[in-house]
Amino acid sequence: MDSTLVSMDKETRASGRRPWVLIAGVVVAIALLALLFLASVIARGNALAFDRTLILAMRVPGHPDIPIGPAKLPSIARDITALGSGTVLTLVVTLATALLLMRRMWRTAALTLVATIGGASMVSLLKQLFARARPDLVEHLMRETSSSFPSGHSANSAIVYLTIATLLFPMIREAHVRLFVVVATMTIVGLIGISRVYLGVHWPSDVLAGWIFGALWALGCWRLEIGLMARSRHRAASGGPALG
């Protein structure tokens, strides 16, 4: 067979591959710009038009104290929002870390703790930095005392659930199972954020900023884990000690 044809065939196949690294870079850049835009608007004390529109859309027109939907929906929203509470997230991180330790995945267990604790600390710091007041357009359906921006429930749930989901990937071989885990995790995180707006304790921009920050944090931790795994395999291949 002509070597020129073989070379061209390989080049054609290579050129047909999607540039996932470039695409991921663009998505991350857009997310960072969106986060910076939200932060700059909030820092200037300005209001966002969609904040008022969306939060009022979840209340009966003319009655900002009455949420839309059936009578049981506020109770359901509080149950969902509890999935992003500090107590539940701490329990999830503890169980996930215990599972990783049982599998002798020491590095991943340590990274899980560092990522989640570090992310929660950053969210707390940002809340103190921006000190945004809670929404005053509607009646709150649960009591909250901390600052509003960014949403701690949205950010911390994204940090915890997405980080754990991606760090557990080495234990999941099937691609469709990995996809299910990611979609299920994103659904839970999404519902938690929506519940915060429905309960009237967060502006939509608080939730959006929390989602973006949490997702970027989880993505960074996943990328760090990939790098550490590659380094460990390289050391093992060269005869050095490999960390689990």
Instruction: Look up tokens 């509607």; give the residue.
Output: 138
**Three-state DSSP class for 59?**
strand
Out of 63, 140, 176, 202, pick the active-site residue: 202
**35 close to 212: Cβ distance less than 8 angstroms:** yes
Q: Residue-wise over 164-175: b if at least 16 C-beta within 10 A, else e? A: bbbbbbeeeeee
What letter represents residue 19's amino acid?
A: P
- Tokens of residue 163, six digits: 């980080």
Out of 140, 153, 176, 234, pick the active-site residue: 153
Q: Indicate the DSSP class of residue 66.
A: E
**155 close to 123: Cβ distance less than 8 angstroms:** yes
Radius of gyration of the chain measured on its C-alpha atoms: 22
Centre a 10 Å sphere on the Cβ of residue 127 and count the other Cβ atoms it contains.
19
- Tokens of residue 233, six digits: 């395999």
Q: Indicate the DSSP class of residue 29.
A: H
- Ramachandran region, residue 239 (left: φ > 0; alpha: ψ -120 to 50; beta: rest): left
How far apart, in whole angstroms, are the C-alpha atoms of residue 154 and residue 202? 10
Quick check: is 176 catalytic? no
Residues forming the active site: 153, 202
